[in-house]
Structure 1
């Protein structure tokens, strides 16, 4: 049965492909503690209503055409309220493309 080989983390540990190294788990936990909660970042009841309205008008994923469930900000708003509410900066995405393809694109910039 084929399997992917282990990879070497930046810290030097060897971990199986698809798994996180203990240093990565620790770093993620630290970042999560510092990150403001969703409502502090603007994702409140007003956003929920705007999101529903947008998805009613744009029901298909912009990348694959499957049903969209996420309203994504094309350009990350990074707390900028003007960018956050700019509907020209919104796009409908399915969960797969929001959580994988879009995240990879943002990390590579």
Structure 2
């Protein structure tokens, strides 16, 4: 540490984090720049816009309008009684009943038992959000 001889620790850290060529310190990792949301708000990188998130949630139909009524919950209970484990990994912890063909695409198959499958939260989220990891989206 010859170049820093006689300097205090905070000065060394400031010099290292300034990005001098060849030096990498503990604090050398840069932060991502904030972004401007479509509504005009300045948002920290990687965070959702609080103003737009509230507007999207307010515009979302409630569970009954999306097809999850008492008939659905009755069918869901019956399906879990006969198919308790995830069809991908077999887990019985934190499972969801998933529509193989979405209600949005085929509302007539909403209460069709042959259109249901049991998925753990991990696999349900992967399917729902379109990540191709072991099961096809559909």
User: What TM-score results when the alignment is normalised by the length of structure 2?
Assistant: 0.56
Q: CA RMSD in A?
A: 3.2
2:33 and 2:115 map into 1 onto residues whose CA distance is 37
Question: Counterpart of 2:134?
Answer: none
Structure possessing the higher relative contact order (Cα contacts under 8 Å, 6 or more residues apart): 1
Q: Offset at 1:79?
A: 7.4
- Answering whether residue 96 of structure 2 is matched by residue 73 of structure 1, we say no
Q: Identify unmatched segments of 5+ residues in structure 2.
A: 1-25, 132-136
Q: Offset at 1:48?
A: 1.1
User: What TM-score results when the alignment is normalised by the length of structure 1?
Assistant: 0.68
Question: Counterpart of 2:23?
Answer: none
Q: Identify unmatched segments of 5+ residues in structure 1.
A: none
Pairs aligned (count): 100
Q: Offset at 1:89?
A: 1.9
Question: Counterpart of 1:28?
Answer: 53
1:9 and 1:63 map into 2 onto residues whose CA distance is 38
Within 5 Å, which residues of 2 pair with 1:31-50? 31-50=56-75
Contact kept? 1:9, 1:21, Cα under 8 Å: no
1:46 and 1:88 map into 2 onto residues whose CA distance is 16
Question: Counterpart of 2:122?
Answer: 96
- Answering whether residue 109 of structure 2 is matched by residue 83 of structure 1, we say yes
C-alpha change, 1:9 and 1:91, in structure 2 (3 Å) is farther
Greater share of residues in helix: 1
